[in-house]
Amino acid sequence: MRTICIINLKGGVAKTLTAVNMAHILATVHNRRVLLIDNDKQGNTSKMFGLHSYDEKSVSDLLTEKNPDLDEIIADTRYKFLDLIPANMNLLDANKMTMIDSSWQRETRFKKALQPISGDYDYCVIDNAPDINIGIINALVMSDDIIIPIKIDPFAFDGLKELQRHIDSVKEDLNPELCLMGCLVTCYSRNDVNAQGEEHLRTQLKYPVFATHIRRTEKADESTFATMPILEYSPRCGAARDYQSFVREYLEKLSDSDTNHKKK
């Protein structure tokens, strides 16, 4: 199972839209077995699949239970190859409780809990809250790849340095294989501000950036109201096509790095 962490300290940059659509495209276009984890108390990813509830187990139980019952926590979605671990506001207390309970290691709880099912999935995609908390550190510890969605606006790059610092510290202490795959420009409009912002990211800040950007499309916003993945809501719209190109680019990057690895 290859785990992808969708993260940015900033809110409203399309983390959830990216996580949901990446997972849906991997599962329905590429026929990969995908586990999507909602790691945000807002539960927006869970709502997208009609799986937001206080009656069922959720991601919180991965933090608070020593031997969580994964059959109870992992929910089926209406897509054959796509399963979901939902979230709700209980995650707020679960994060707090994890911080005060040092009787077992706090940072590796997701990783240990999900070890038994890692052979059941090809990919795990994690949608995170715009924050750094112990749940998000757990997500970084179990991840292979990081993708940072960025919406170009006057404050687009705020928090990137702080995020990088947290990534570096997880890499150093707990997960040396963690790789920043790239920033993904979302909500892209064809104007000077967006072109300059993207250029600044590539050349001045020197972050890896995906060649694909996701165009701002009203259909994308509508798809969240309709709680449907964009490819199902409006398969021919710009954002649906861009998300498919982005997933193809991600898979190509993976196979390139695999080839380079083997050559060494």
Ligand X SMILES: Nc1ncnc2c1ncn2[C@@H]1O[C@H](COP(=O)(O)OP(=O)(O)OP(=O)(O)O)[C@@H](O)[C@H]1O
Which residues form the interface with Mg ion (CB under 5 A)?
15-16, 44
Q: Which one of ligand X, Mg ion, none is in contact with 221 (Cβ closer than 5 to 8 A by kind)?
A: ligand X
CA 201/CA 151 separation, integer angstroms: 11
C-alpha dist (Å) from residue 162 to 55, 133, 156, 168: 36, 13, 13, 10
| DSSP-assigned beta bridge partners for residue 107 | none
Nearer to Mg ion, 52 or 68 (CB): 52
Nearer to ligand X, 84 or 187 (CB): 187
Nearer to ligand X, 73 or 214 (CB): 214
Q: What is the DSSP string of 58-104?
A: -THHHHH-SS--HHHH-EE-SSTTEEEE---THHHHHHHHHHH--SS
Q: Which one of Mg ion, ligand X, none is in contact with 50 (Cβ closer than 5 to 8 A by kind)?
A: none
Contact 26, 123 (CB under 8 A): yes
**How big is the site for ligand X, counted in residues (CB under 6 A)?**
20
By C-alpha distance, which of 98, 168, 111, 173 is closest to 138?
111
- Choice from 112, 216, 241, 248 touching ligand X (CB under 6 A): 216
Nearer to ligand X, 90 or 217 (CB): 217
Q: Listing from the earlier edge strand, what are the strands of the sheet with 145-151?
A: 75-76, 82-85, 34-39, 123-128, 2-6, 145-151, 179-186
Q: Which one of ligand X, Mg ion, none is in contact with 13 (Cβ closer than 5 to 8 A by kind)?
A: ligand X
Nearer to Mg ion, 126 or 141 (CB): 126
3-state DSSP: the chain helix, strand, coil percent, rounded to 5? 45, 15, 40
* Min dist. Cβ of residue 139 to Mg ion (A): 13
Nearer to ligand X, 68 or 149 (CB): 149
> Interior CA angle at 247 toward 243 and 249, to 5°?
115
- Choice from 1, 107, 108, 130 touching ligand X (CB under 6 A): 130
Tokens of 70: 């994964």
x/- contact string, 38-67, with ligand X (CB under 6 A)? --x-x-x-----------------------
* Min dist. Cβ of residue 92 to ligand X (A): 14
* Min dist. Cβ of residue 52 to Mg ion (A): 13
* Min dist. Cβ of residue 118 to ligand X (A): 25
Tokens 């072109």, residue located: 195
List the interface residues with ligand X, window 146-185 (CB under 6 A). none
Contact 4, 179 (CB under 8 A): no
Nearer to ligand X, 13 or 113 (CB): 13
H helix or E strand, kind and range, residue 169 = helix 160-173
List the interface residues with ligand X, window 228-247 (CB under 6 A). 239
What residues make contact with ligand X under the rule CB under 6 A?
Answer: 11-17, 40, 42, 44, 130, 186-187, 214, 216-217, 220-221, 224, 239
